[in-house]
Chains A and B, each alone.
Chain A
Amino acid sequence: MMLEGVISRPVVCLARGVAAIAAIYLLLYVVLPAFRLDLPHALNLQLARGATTVLRLIGYPVQRSEHVLLLAGSRLIVNNDCNSIGTWLLLAGAVFAVPRVDLLARLAGVMGMAVVLCAINILRIAQLTYVNAYRPDWFSAIHEQIDPVILILVSVALYLAWIRLADRPLPA
């Protein structure tokens, strides 16, 4: 890359990562909503639906009204703070920051990470609905101090796994 001759490689990598984060964010929250396409809201709805299914499968009589989950008289609202798009943006930035990886591997990594994060989020929302209903004193600590750290550990593991896969030479 020509720029790398002028600016040092870590700076170019960092700039590429930050640019990827800004571009995806603008696409999701500014460009697509201008065309009445609110993907984060649709994602919140799917996460609420998934968490409802999980809780019903393990025998809890949860009710759902759009993106609000009701269990034992308590309400949990699935909003943009719950969908982990921020974590996914950071992962996407880190994926695009890695030098010398082809675009297809980057896109596959970003999409694969989105799917895994969604699955984890469904479990997290189901767990938070349970805690909110039956252990409300624990809600704040679990929501703000335990779950984010679990998400970070999973994200780091996902990222390292992607780096190992992306770094593997293609079969001849």
Chain B
Amino acid sequence: MPTGPYLRSAAAWAGRFVIMYGVMLALWWLSAAAYLSFLARTVETVDAMGHGARLLRVVVVPLHGLVASGDWGDSLPIPQTVLGADLALAVALVLASSGSLWVRGTRRAVAAVGLVFIGHVATIVAQIALLRTRPGERAAMRVAWELWVAIYQAKVLPLAAWLMVCGLQLLEMIKRRERL
């Protein structure tokens, strides 16, 4: 396969992605309050389902993110910039990889936001569960959590959402290009 067209299409994709990411970050600042509020309520509900009682309180701190407090001691801050970057990145990756921005692109973007939301809820609930365990208890769970933190910081959540939403299309595209 010649390198020229490959590099040109990669550069075009990167350009589309950078523009989309900037737009999504701007959109995030407009919609952050609603997302954070919904995330806080969902985390409280999921945590209560596991205990049969509300032991957790998650509040939205405007422009900063969430603060979770409960029966384990120190409160847990969850920065808004990290959550926003995950969402903006997932949607920008999906839109940059979708030919059409309208019906198909929007449907995929909504699916990506849903997947990242599920990932955020699961991550926060898992962190709170870990905070409730005593040091030295559940060593394997702590190792698994540390591994998750390492790859979470590498943005595995938006990357996984992108692959789940666009993976098959990307595989087909790679095969098609290999045949050219």
Contacts and interface: CB of A to CB of B under 8 A. Distances in A.
A73 B151 CA distance: 32
Contacts of A160: 10
B14 interface: yes
A85 B159 contact: no
A81 interface: yes
A160 B9 CA distance: 13
Contacts, number: 59
A90 B154 CA distance: 8
A153 B85 CA distance: 14
B81 A22 contact: no
B159 A90 contact: yes
Contact of B85 (A29, A80, A148, A157): A148
A157 B155 CA distance: 16
Which range holds the interface residue count of chain B? 20 to 34
B79 A152 contact: no
Interface in B127-150: 143, 146-147, 149-150
Q: Main SS of chain A's interface residues? A: helix
A164 B61 CA distance: 47
Contacts of A22: 147
A80 B147 CA distance: 12
A149 B153 contact: no
A63 interface: no
A21 B147 CA distance: 9
A145 interface: yes
Given A85-B150, A87-B154, A144 B81 contact: yes
A141 interface: yes
Interface string B54-97: 00000000000000000000000001011011001100000000
A89 B21 contact: no
B89 A140 contact: no
Interface residues of A, number: 25
Nearest to B17: A153
B146 A144 contact: no
Given A26-B143, A29-B146, A152-B89, A144 B79 contact: yes
Contacts of B154: 84, 86-87, 89-90, 148, 151-152
Interface string A144-171: 1100110111000100100000000000
A32 interface: no
* Max chain B C-beta neighbours (<10 A), residue from A85, A140, A148: A148
Given A145-B25, A148-B85, A148-B155, A86 B79 contact: no
15 contacts: A21-B151, A29-B143, A86-B154, A86-B156, A89-B150, A90-B159, A141-B81, A145-B88, A148-B89, A148-B153, A148-B154, A149-B21, A149-B89, A152-B89, A153-B14
Given A29-B143, A149-B89, A160-B10, 5 more contacts: A26-B143, A89-B151, A148-B153, A149-B21, A149-B155
Interface of A: 21-22, 25-26, 29-30, 80-81, 84-87, 89-90, 140-141, 144-145, 148-149, 151-153, 157, 160
